[in-house]
Structure 1
Amino acid sequence: MDTTNAMNATDPARPALSAQDTEERRIRELVARSQEAQTDPEVLPALHTSDLVLINLAGRRVFGREAFESAMTAALASPLKDVRTTLEVDDIRFVRPDVAIVSLTKTVHDERPDTQGQGPSDFPARGAMTYVMTRDEGADWHIALAQTTPIA
């Protein structure tokens, strides 16, 4: 039994979790799964809608899940496989119950051997990232748009 909800149910000063709180938790879980799957070209694209739009940190646009999977597979076969990112959720806003705009801070960890101790990476260390997430009735959330702007 969820003790948080049990406590809230018996303590009128602490309201039960709202539907929005539940959806925010689900969105945060999707962000965590997307970060964990950043090197898995079978898992990460599936967390996105089939018609996603992605603009990466370098400004490259990718349209659709299949194109994303291809681009990701190519990147993982290159030195880019050693560039990891971490995500921190800064804000979640619901446009409608089934559409959310998620503001994140992306931190880049460039671990390519040719950049270690060789001066600055060709990637900025941080980016302002925006996800637009959607969900079908009763379904999981998916990323419909992912856009990253470098932070100087």
Structure 2
Amino acid sequence: MPRHPAPDYSLRDLARLRRVRDRIDREYAQPLNVEVLARDIGMSSGHLSRQFRLAFGESPYSYLMTRRIERAMALLRRGDLSVTEVCFTVGCASLGTFSTRFTELVGVSPSVYRREAAGATAGMPSCVARQVTRPIRNREAPAPEPDLA
């Protein structure tokens, strides 16, 4: 059985990567980019991207967009904001990019999600609602079943 080498990062690098992940979790609605995140922890943007992917399984940008989509899902379920308002509230600058990424992660467009999910979590504790409505990462939304008939 072939052995895969252990990821090449030190405990110090792992702590810095966790700080980046925590910052993304806190500041997801702010304009963030890899260059700024990397500079603030003393890494190059390329090194940060490679190490973040090794440590957490996805790029910093993908992680940021997943956080934004999670928050957007909650706002859309609430139903008091338009899709455009939600897009800008969660920090996306482009409605097109937001809609595309939302559809990739969730499997339906934001407007369809808003219409169908409005009452889906009514009466459910928020911690449970957050878990059952978490978007699927890394473009893993289930593809429609092919019609074999």
TM-score using structure 1 length:
0.32
TM-score using structure 2 length:
0.32
Larger helix proportion of the pair: 2
